C-alpha cells in the first residue's frame, strides 16, 4: 500500500488542477472570511465587525467554509483523483503493473487524505497570517487559540473535507467518470442541501428531523460548535458537536468502503 500511496502522491502533486483547487479554496476563504468583513466592517448591515477577523477567531474562521463552498473544492479533488483514472483509461495501465485494486484504492485514499490535510493546514496558516496582519493594523491584542484548540480545529476541518472528498471518490467510481460525478456532487452540496434547510425543513417536521442525519447539516453543526460564524452558508448548530463529528466520520467511512467495494467487484472496461 505504501508504494501505491507514493505513486498516488506523485500524481496528485504533479497535477496542475489540484494546485488550482488549492488556490481557489485559499482565495475564497481569505476573501469571504477576512477581506469582505474587514472591508465592510463599517457598513450599514455589518454585524460581524472587524473583531471577528482577529486571531482569537482563527479556528472558526478557518473551518467555516468546509460545510459548503470549500467542501465543494474537496469533492472536486476526490472526483478528479478517482474519476481521472476512468477518463484517461489508466486503471488498466496501473492494475496491469500488478498491485491489487484494493491496494491502489487505499493508496489513493491515503494520498487524498494527505492532500486534504495540506489544504486544511494551508487555510489555517493563511488565516493566521491574515488575521495577525489585520490585528496589527488595528492595533488590537494578539490572542491566539491554544494548541489544543488548533489541533481540534484542524482535525474537524480535515474530517469534513475528507468526507466530501470521499463522496467525490464514491461518485467517480460509481459513475466511472469525472463530469457527471462533479455535477451531481455540486448539485447536492450547493443546491439540495440549501433547499432542504431553507425551504423544506421550516415547512415539514420530518425533513427538519431527517436533516440531523445528513452530512451537510452535521458538518455545519460541527464547525458552529468550534466557533464558525452562523452567517456563513451551511453553518448552524442543529446537533451537538459529538454527534456531528460521529455522523461525519460515519459518512466518511461508509463512502470509502462503498467506493472500495464497487471498485473491487466491477469490471474495468
Q: List interacting residues with other proteins (CB under 8 A).
A: 3-4, 6-7, 10-11, 14-16, 84, 88-100, 104, 267-269
In this structure, are residues 171 and 184 in contact, taking their beta carbons and an 8 Å threshold? Answer: yes
For the chain, what's the residue count? Answer: 269
* C-alpha cell, 247: 455522523
Per-residue DSSP letter, 178: S
Task: Please state the closest distance from residue 96 (CB atom) to other proteins, in A.
Answer: 4
Cβ-proximal residues to 129 (8 Å cutoff; 6+ apart), any chain? none
- Between CA 161 and CA 25 the distance in angstroms is 12
Task: Please state the closest distance from residue 99 (CB atom) to other proteins, in A.
Answer: 5
Q: Which of residues 17 and 151 has its CB atom nearest to other proteins in the complex?
A: 17
- Between CA 226 and CA 136 the distance in angstroms is 24
Task: Please state the closest distance from residue 11 (CB atom) to other proteins, in A.
Answer: 6
Task: Please state the closest distance from residue 264 (CB atom) to other proteins, in A.
Answer: 10
Task: Please state the closest distance from residue 245 (CB atom) to other proteins, in A.
Answer: 34
The sign of the torsion formed by the CA atoms of 114, 119, 120, 126 equals positive
Q: Which of residues 97 and 133 has its CB atom nearest to other proteins in the complex?
A: 97
Pick from 51, 26, 28: nearest CA to 38: 51
Q: In the block, which residue shows the cell 474562521?
A: 61
Cβ-proximal residues to 110 (8 Å cutoff; 6+ apart), any chain? 1, 5, 8
In this structure, are residues 236 and 221 in contact, taking their beta carbons and an 8 Å threshold? Answer: yes
Q: Which of residues 47 and 267 has its CB atom nearest to other proteins in the complex?
A: 267
Q: Which of residues 97 and 231 has its CB atom nearest to other proteins in the complex?
A: 97
* C-alpha cell, 207: 425533513
Task: Please state the closest distance from residue 68 (CB atom) to other proteins, in A.
Answer: 29
Q: Which of residues 203 and 269 has its CB atom nearest to other proteins in the complex?
A: 269
Measured in whole angstroms, the distance separating CA 43 from the mean position of its chain's CA atoms is 30
Q: Which of residues 65 and 259 has its CB atom nearest to other proteins in the complex?
A: 259
Task: Please state the closest distance from residue 20 (CB atom) to other proteins, in A.
Answer: 12
Q: Which of residues 95 and 110 has its CB atom nearest to other proteins in the complex?
A: 95
Task: Please state the closest distance from residue 75 (CB atom) to other proteins, in A.
Answer: 21
- Between CA 193 and CA 238 the distance in angstroms is 14
Q: Which of residues 115 and 152 has its CB atom nearest to other proteins in the complex?
A: 115
- Between CA 202 and CA 80 the distance in angstroms is 36
Amino acid at each position: 500500500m505504501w508504494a501505491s500511496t507514493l505513486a498516488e502522491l506523485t500524481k496528485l502533486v504533479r497535477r496542475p488542477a489540484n494546485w488550482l483547487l488549492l488556490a481557489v479554496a485559499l482565495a475564497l476563504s481569505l476573501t469571504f472570511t477576512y477581506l469582505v468583513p474587514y472591508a465592510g466592517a463599517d457598513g450599514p448591515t455589518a454585524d460581524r465587525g472587524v473583531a471577528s477577523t482577529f486571531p482569537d477567531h482563527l479556528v472558526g474562521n478557518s473551518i467555516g467554509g468546509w460545510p459548503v463552498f470549500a467542501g465543494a473544492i474537496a469533492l472536486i479533488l476526490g472526483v478528479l483523483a478517482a474519476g481521472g483514472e476512468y477518463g484517461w483509461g489508466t486503471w488498466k495501465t496501473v492494475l496491469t503493473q500488478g498491485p491489487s485494486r484494493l491496494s491502489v484504492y487505499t493508496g489513493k485514499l491515503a494520498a487524498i487524505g494527505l492532500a486534504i490535510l495540506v489544504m486544511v493546514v494551508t487555510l489555517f496558516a493563511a488565516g493566521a497570517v491574515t488575521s495577525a496582519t489585520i490585528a496589527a493594523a488595528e492595533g488590537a491584542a494578539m490572542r491566539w487559540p491554544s494548541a489544543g484548540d488548533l489541533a481540534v480545529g484542524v482535525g474537524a476541518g480535515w474530517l469534513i473535507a475528507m468526507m466530501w472528498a470521499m463522496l467525490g471518490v464514491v461518485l467517480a467510481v460509481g459513475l466511472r467518470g469525472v463530469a457527471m460525478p462533479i455535477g451531481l456532487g455540486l448539485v447536492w452540496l450547493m443546491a439540495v442541501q440549501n433547499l432542504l434547510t431553507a425551504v423544506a425543513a421550516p415547512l415539514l417536521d420530518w425533513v427538519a428531523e431527517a436533516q440531523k442525519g445528513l452530512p451537510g447539516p452535521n458538518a455545519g453543526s460541527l464547525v458552529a460548535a468550534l466557533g464558525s460564524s452562523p452567517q456563513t452558508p451551511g453553518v448552524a448548530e442543529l446537533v451537538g458537536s459529538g454527534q456531528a463529528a460521529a455522523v461525519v466520520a460515519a459518512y466518511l467511512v461508509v463512502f470509502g468502503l462503498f467506493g472500495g467495494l464497487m471498485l473491487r467487484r466491477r469490471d474495468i472496461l
